[in-house]
């Protein structure tokens, strides 16, 4: 897990779309939202889940690994960038390789877009746009220690399991609070996989 990263807490999400609107205001991709808000059982429940790039660490960025033009770069601090406009050929390999369904291909521009952790902001010490407006803290940006200081019984997982495959991510999902007396802040696997 990256030192300062996004922690996604689906139990706090109210589906307000503030993150989606704020993401569209990010200077690096103004007008396009790179966050997806998925309604888990639309019509039956208000349960929703913000889906952002998980900045995969192991295996390292499957989207970048399958890019034939090396258009997707990974920074030294682990942030998986969106495709470089001058290199992307719109082949959609990255779209199919991402286990979380994050990259989106703009067919008109023939260009891939995805969450890049608002790198223009986070590299300057600011929060990503989505975290800066989330009214419930469903999207939390900071360190694991800061998360645990704010939510002492929380636990975060940076391991996602898909069948027999495990993926270690740079971002994390906040899992249900540990019962009293059990350790907190662990990074246990999310069985069955994280379903955005």
CATH code for the domain of 134: 3.30.70.20
Residue 102: inside a domain, yes or no? no
Q: Answer whether residue 18 shows pLDDT above 80.
A: yes
Residue 10: inside a domain, yes or no? yes
Residue 34: inside a domain, yes or no? yes
Q: How many domains are contained in the chain?
A: 1
Determine the average pLDDT of the residues in 121-141. Answer: 95
Range of the domain at 56: 5-60+119-190
Q: Which long-range contacts (CB under 8 A, 24 or more apart) does 64-71 make?
A: 64/94, 65/97, 66/93, 66/94, 66/96, 66/97, 67/93, 67/94, 68/93, 71/112
Q: Answer whether residue 185 shows pLDDT above 90.
A: no
Residue 21: inside a domain, yes or no? yes
pLDDT digits 0-9 by tens, 39-80: 888 888 888 999 999 999 999 999 999 999 999 999 999 999
Share of the chain above pLDDT 90, in %: 73
């Amino acid at each position: 897990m990256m030192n300062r990263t996004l922690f996604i807490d689906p139990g706090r999400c109210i589906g307000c779309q503030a993150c989606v609107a704020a993401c569209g205001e990010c200077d690096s991709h103004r007008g396009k939202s790179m966050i997806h808000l998925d309604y888990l059982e639309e019509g039956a429940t208000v349960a929703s889940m913000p889906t952002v790039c998980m900045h995969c660490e192991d295996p390292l960025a499957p989207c970048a690994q399958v890019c034939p033009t090396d258009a997707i770069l990974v920074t030294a601090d682990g942030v998986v960038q969106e495709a470089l406009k001058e290199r992307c050929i719109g082949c959609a390999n990255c779209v199919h390789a991402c286990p979380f369904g994050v990259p989106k291909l703009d067919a008109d521009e023939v260009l891939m877009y995805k969450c890049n952790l608002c790198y223009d902001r986070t590299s300057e010490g600011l929060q990503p746009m989505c975290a800066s407006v989330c009214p419930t803290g469903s999207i939390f940006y900071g360190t694991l220690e800061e998360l645990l200081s704010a939510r002492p019984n929380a636990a975060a997982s940076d391991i996602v399991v898909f069948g027999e495959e495990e993926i270690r991510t740079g971002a994390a999902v906040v899992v249900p609070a540990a019962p009293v007396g059990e350790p907190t802040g662990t990074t246990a696997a999310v069985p069955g996989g994280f379903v955005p």
